[in-house]
């Protein structure tokens, strides 16, 4: 499942100045090697002296040329605003980056924008240039912030340290994770940095006008009489009233540990990230949905603090057996669902169990191999025969007969394969199926770049979901119409021929008969070179009948499973939540099987085959071309010739 994490990259915390650590790149390794080989030991002291003095002089010049902003009273950004500011540390085999984004302070993009650097870093270490050796920042250190009234307030994150001690992420767990991750945090550095980087205000998807309007309303009163930085405090409250990270960033943070193989082996945990990305929630998240559930939506209950996350064995945990049903039915998720909603698999790992879900996967993989495989082989053999120029010796003669019949109105009626009703049903199926593929398969392959591109152009996951449902309803209505049409044909045929209902059904044009099986065997022998002539197939060949019943079967399965997932609230009120998991698996596998048959086998026979190129006209005017009729339906041509010579064929075909 590692491939599902393509595009989900994250950065581990840095060991210097509380920023994120970048692993040494190849260029950095080359820099280190060059510095060791080319700098002789007796030159290093001179170089260090020169760098220190030049750096000090540069600071003086920059301090004059670039006065510090009001948000940087200590002037640290005079140097740290430059992205190339870094130092190669040969002892630790890494490059330390000292760049600080000045826009974070200039535009007050986060809560730390109002802090001076020395409120986190020891003044004695950074007040001289070049700086002394800097100790790691302690995130629980008390600092002074300016409140809304303009007064300094003492503040500390030390309370969060106590919260973590009662959670699954206590000090021992964080220390173990740091060691198994390769110690991205140095000795004494705050473990907060395993999850947190520089905090920023998450402004959501509001437009500029929506963001600016409430601030301007605040400024009506908060002028010179009541001076307050309304923009900063508005965004502080606004951002803290919602998740600080989007869904993708949240999963990235959790994946640092919960997708790391060393940690998983040590703790005996399963790969929760991979199994989550296999679920509907995970795939919707990969496509940019912020409405779908992420890690925190399930593992942190409503009105609870993320820093006190509990194990599923804790009865107070939102994922405990006693609480998980209510977690799924929270107002933000599935408020109208039944209690069985919690039985649907959010973390589905087919390889770890041999239940019914595993059996469904095995059955469908077998169906793909043993139905699509032979069909693909037949299509490949057909293309091979075309490539080497091998054909039935009677094909040209039959094509000439078919062409002569098609020149006459009565002959065209005899050779009409699809009437107007049938062509309308086919085009309904084409539109519905194509729309379902375009809107559905990006969700199945959500970790691919083309999937995100497609969903973005459609208008997002929600739009794609609604369009997909409309197309699904269209497919079901087309199926219902087709069943009514077939039923009327059976009734009329029964009355006309006076046969019983079962006998009438088996005498329908698309019904499979023993002779079809013989023709299929004959076709296989011809394609492998053991017969010189093609079988005398009628109006519909055995491969076409197989495709028809594949569409029949697939529409039933896709329609039923799609309705169960669409109306998941109803499903979980009357059935087990595992039904949703099975529906999800069956829907995806059957859709993939259908796409393989339609996109490969069917497209070859109606578009790419030289006998029909550039496209078969059968679904436009109901008539196949002479070459296609002679090659795939020779018995139909011979029957039409006999009827034409006998003066028959005045009525349109309705079967």
pLDDT per position as a tens digit, 312-338: 999 989 999 999 999 999 988 999 999
Mean pLDDT across 447-474 = 95
Taking the C-alpha atoms of residue 82 and residue 361, their distance in angstroms, rounded to an integer, is: 54
Same-domain check for residues 266 and 129: no
pLDDT band at 444, cuts 50/70/90?
Answer: very high
Share of the chain above pLDDT 90, in %: 52
Same-domain check for residues 114 and 231: yes
pLDDT band at 480, cuts 50/70/90?
Answer: very high
pLDDT at position 611 is: 79
Domain that holds residue 454: 419-508
Same-domain check for residues 130 and 209: yes
In a domain, 367, yes or no: no
In a domain, 394, yes or no: no
Top-confidence residue, 65 or 246 = 246
In a domain, 537, yes or no: no
In a domain, 385, yes or no: no
Point out the domain boundary residue: 189, 212, 240.
240
Same-domain check for residues 215 and 296: no
pLDDT at position 135 is: 85
Instruction: Give pLDDT tens digits for 266-316.
Output: 999 999 999 999 999 999 999 999 889 999 999 987 778 889 999 999 998
Same-domain check for residues 132 and 231: yes
In a domain, 41, yes or no: yes
Tell me which residue of 196, 172, 345 sits closest to 256, measured CA to CA.
196
Taking the C-alpha atoms of residue 371 and residue 257, their distance in angstroms, rounded to an integer, is: 42
Residue 146: pLDDT over 90: no
Same-domain check for residues 221 and 276: no
Residue 117: pLDDT over 80: yes
Could you tell me where the beta strands, DSSP code E, fall in 4-135? 86-89, 94-97
Start-to-end CA distance of the chain, whole Å, equals 49
Same-domain check for residues 489 and 438: yes
pLDDT band at 244, cuts 50/70/90?
Answer: confident
Taking the C-alpha atoms of residue 179 and residue 170, their distance in angstroms, rounded to an integer, is: 15
Mean pLDDT across 14-41 = 34
Residue 606 and residue 597 in contact, taking contact as beta carbons nearer than 8 Å = no
pLDDT at position 655 is: 63
DSSP characters over 201-229? ---TT--HHHHHHHHHHHHTTSSSSS---
Taking the C-alpha atoms of residue 509 and residue 424, their distance in angstroms, rounded to an integer, is: 18
Residue 3: pLDDT over 80: no
Most confident of 10-19, 89-98, 135-144, 167-176: 167-176
In a domain, 43, yes or no: yes
Same-domain check for residues 270 and 229: no
Going by DSSP bridges, is the β-strand pair 143-146/94-97 parallel, antiparallel, or unpaired? unpaired
pLDDT at position 652 is: 52
- 3-state percent breakdown (helix, strand, coil) of the chain, nearest 5: 60, 5, 40
Point out the domain boundary residue: 308, 326, 352.
352
- Read off the tokens for 382: 């057909």
pLDDT at position 24 is: 30
DSSP characters over 312-346? TTSTTSTTSTTTHHHHHTSTTS-TT--GGGGGS-S
Residue 204: pLDDT over 80: no
Q: What is the pTM of this model?
A: 0.79
Residue 617: HSE in the Cβ half-sphere, 13 Å Cα cutoff = 11
Query: Per residue in 566-595, is it b (16+ CB within 10 Å) or e — as a string?
Result: bebeebbeebebebbbbbbbbbbbbbebbb
Domain count, the chain: 3
Query: Per residue in 336-365, is it b (16+ CB within 10 Å) or e — as a string?
Result: ebbebbbbbbbbbbbeeeeeebeebbeebe
pLDDT at position 150 is: 62
Point out the domain boundary residue: 298, 331, 352.
352
- Read off the tokens for 269: 């945990």
Top-confidence residue, 54 or 73 = 73
Same-domain check for residues 228 and 104: yes
As beta bridge partners, residue 145 has: 153
In a domain, 86, yes or no: yes
- Read off the tokens for 8: 């989900």
Same-domain check for residues 222 and 132: yes
Same-domain check for residues 425 and 286: no
Residue 256: pLDDT over 60: yes
Helices in 81-222 by DSSP H: which ranges?
102-106, 123-126, 158-165, 171-180, 208-219
Residue 550 and residue 594 in contact, taking contact as beta carbons nearer than 8 Å = yes
- Read off the tokens for 352: 């770890």
pLDDT at position 203 is: 67
In a domain, 346, yes or no: yes
Same-domain check for residues 51 and 82: yes
Top-confidence residue, 238 or 50 = 238
Residue 106: pLDDT over 60: yes
Mean of all residue pLDDT scores within the chain:
83
Which range, of 388-392, 442-446, 519-523, 565-569, averages the lowest pLDDT?
388-392
Residue 18: pLDDT over 70: no
pLDDT band at 71, cuts 50/70/90?
Answer: low
Residue 39: pLDDT over 60: no
pLDDT band at 46, cuts 50/70/90?
Answer: very low
Helices in 417-534 by DSSP H: which ranges?
420-444, 449-458, 461-497, 501-506, 514-527
Mean pLDDT across 578-602 = 94
Angle 642-646-650 from CA coordinates, rounded to 5°: 100
């Amino acid at each position: 499942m590692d491939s599902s994490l393509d595009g989900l990259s994250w950065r581990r915390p840095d060991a210097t100045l509380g920023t994120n650590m970048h692993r040494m790149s190849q260029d950095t390794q080359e820099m280190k090697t060059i510095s060791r080989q080319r700098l002789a030991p007796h030159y290093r002291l001179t170089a260090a002296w020169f760098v220190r003095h030049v750096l000090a002089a540069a600071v003086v010049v920059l301090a004059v040329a670039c006065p510090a902003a009001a948000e940087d009273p200590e002037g640290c950004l005079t140097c740290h605003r430059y992205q190339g500011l870094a130092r190669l540390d040969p002892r630790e085999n890494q490059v330390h980056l000292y760049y600080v984004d000045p826009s974070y302070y200039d535009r007050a993009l986060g809560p730390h924008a109002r802090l001076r650097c020395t409120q986190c870093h020891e003044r004695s270490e950074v007040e001289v240039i070049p700086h002394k050796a800097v100790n790691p920042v302690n995130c629980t250190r008390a600092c002074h912030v300016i409140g809304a009234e303009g007064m300094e307030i003492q503040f500390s994150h030390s309370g969060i340290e106590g919260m973590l001690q009662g959670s699954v992420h206590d000090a021992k767990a964080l220390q173990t994770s740091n060691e198994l991750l390769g110690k991205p945090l140095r000795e004494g550095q705050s473990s907060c940095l395993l999850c947190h980087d520089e905090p920023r205000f998450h402004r959501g998807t509001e437009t500029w006008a929506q963001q600016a309007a409430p601030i301007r309303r605040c400024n009506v009163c908060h002028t010179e009489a009541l001076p307050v930085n309304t923009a900063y405090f508005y965004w502080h409250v606004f951002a803290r009233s919602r998740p600080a990270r989007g869904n993708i960033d949240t999963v990235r943070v959790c994946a640092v540990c919960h997708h790391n193989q060393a940690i998983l082996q040590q703790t005996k945990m399963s790969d929760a990230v991979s199994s989550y990305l296999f679920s509907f929630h995970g795939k919707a998240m990969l496509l940019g949905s912020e409405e779908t559930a992420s890690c925190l939506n399930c593992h942190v209950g409503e009105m609870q603090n993320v820093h006190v996350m509990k194990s599923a064995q804790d009865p107070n945990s939102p994922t405990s057996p006693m609480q998980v049903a209510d977690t799924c039915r929270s107002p933000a998720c599935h408020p109208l669902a039944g209690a069985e909603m919690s039985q649907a698999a959010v973390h589905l790992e087919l390889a770890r169990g041999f239940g019914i879900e595993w059996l469904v996967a095995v059955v469908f993989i077998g169906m793909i191999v043993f139905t699509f495989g032979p069909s693909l082989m037949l299509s490949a053999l057909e293309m091979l025969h075309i490539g080497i120029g091998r054909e039935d010796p009677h094909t040209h003669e039959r094509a000439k007969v078919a062409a002569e019949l098609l020149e006459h109105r009565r002959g065209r009626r005899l050779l009409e394969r699809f009437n107007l009703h049938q062509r309308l049903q086919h085009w309904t199926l084409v539109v519905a199926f194509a729309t379902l593929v375009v809107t559905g398969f990006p969700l199945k392959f959500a970790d691919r770049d083309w999937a995100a591109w497609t969903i973005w152009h459609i208008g997002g996951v929600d739009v794609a979901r609604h369009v997909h449902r409309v197309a699904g309803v269209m497919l079901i209505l087309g199926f219902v119409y087709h069943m009514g049409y077939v039923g009327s044909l059976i009734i009329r045929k029964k009355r006309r021929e006076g046969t019983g209902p079962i006998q009438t059904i088996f005498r329908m044009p698309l019904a499979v008969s023993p002779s079809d099986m013989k023709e299929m065997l004959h076709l296989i022998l011809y394609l492998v070179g053991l017969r010189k002539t093609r079988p005398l197939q009628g109006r519909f060949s055995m491969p076409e009948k197989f495709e028809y019943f594949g569409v029949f079967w697939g529409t039933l399965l896709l329609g039923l499973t799609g309705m169960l997932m669409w109306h998941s609230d109803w499903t979980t009120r009357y059935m087990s939540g595992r039904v949703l998991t099975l529906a999800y698996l069956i829907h995806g596998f059957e859709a993939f099987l259908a796409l393989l048959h339609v996109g490969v086998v069917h497209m070859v026979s109606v578009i790419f085959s030289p006998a029909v190129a550039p496209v078969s006209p059968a679904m436009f005017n109901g008539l196949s071309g002479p070459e296609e009729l002679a090659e795939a339906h020779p018995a139909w041509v011979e029957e039409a010739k006999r009827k034409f010579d006998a003066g028959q064929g005045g009525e349109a075909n309705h079967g």
